[in-house]
Amino acid sequence: MRKQEAAWIGQKLRALNGQRVVLNLGSGSKRFREVSKPYIDRDIFDPLVRSGARVVHADLKSGEGIDISGDMFDPAIQGRLRSLGPDTLIACNIMEHLPKDFRERFPAALDAMLAPGGVLVITVPYSYPYHADPIDTLYRPSPQELCALFPGYEVLEARTIESESYGDEFIAGGPVRMVRKVLRMFFPFVRPKRWFSHAHRMTWLFRPYKLSGVVLRKPLMLLAAFLLMDAVSGPGYGDGVEDVAAIYQATTSS
């Protein structure tokens, strides 16, 4: 997550106010949020906690500061996340790391977790280099394309967030780090995936990184679909997400 991205998310959530349960998907560890990138906790989560909100961090991996770990498409994990009843759901920089079939299921999975009237915050790189974690599909949607994935939702804000360039990072690293990065370009056969990521990043040497960010509100008209969750996730109904996807599509197209 970029500094400007965290500042934008924090500002939008503070403006909305009144959050009770905030679910942060793809959270990373406590060290990641508070030490490696301290602006994430400072700008987003610390103000939420101080305002009285319950913040739940979920990630594929387990670790310190991760409350729920596991695959969000797994029925058991999906059930645990949904049972929280979050009125705010944050899903940042996840979609570019999902294979196409999972990415297509992602909107319905988020909708299944979020309470009616709840707020959904999504960010995805828009103009950004390759960064495998563990993969990067180079999915780079515009804010309008993200909104289109949730046709029944109210758009509170949709914008492109501009960050610094790789050149800014390059200079900020200091002379020793700068020399190491230049020398690295001459060894593509050493960890080639990492080399490609580094080489691709060089094309942003003089242009800013950009991210697509949207803040959406789930309408109360989807309350019926939300109340059916227990029924569709029961025995004999699959994992629930596909069933909710059908309900979601039928509701939003009516």
Q: What residue segments make up the domains of the chain, in order of their start? A: 3-165+209-252
**What 8-state DSSP symbol labels residue 222?**
G
Q: Which residues of the chain have pLDDT under 50?
A: 223-224, 227-228, 230-232, 235-238, 251-252, 254
3-state secondary structure of 153: coil
Tell me, what's the pLDDT at 47? 96
pTM: 0.83
Tell me, what's the pLDDT at 191? 85
Tell me, what's the pLDDT at 224? 45
Q: Which CATH number fits domain 3-165+209-252: 3.30.1300.10, 3.40.50.2000, 1.10.3720.10, 3.40.50.150?
A: 3.40.50.150
Tell me, what's the pLDDT at 244? 53
Contact 92, 123 (CB under 8 A): yes
Report the candidate in 243, 20, 17, 13 with the shortest Cα–Cα distance to residue 120. Answer: 13
**How far, in Å, CA of 127 to CA of 143, rounded?**
12
Tell me, what's the pLDDT at 40? 98
Distance, CA of 203 to chain centre: 24
Q: Each residue of 14-63: pLDDT tens digit?
A: 999 889 999 999 999 999 999 999 999 999 999 999 999 999 999 999 99
Q: Is the peptide bond before 107 cis (omega within 30 degrees of 0)?
A: no
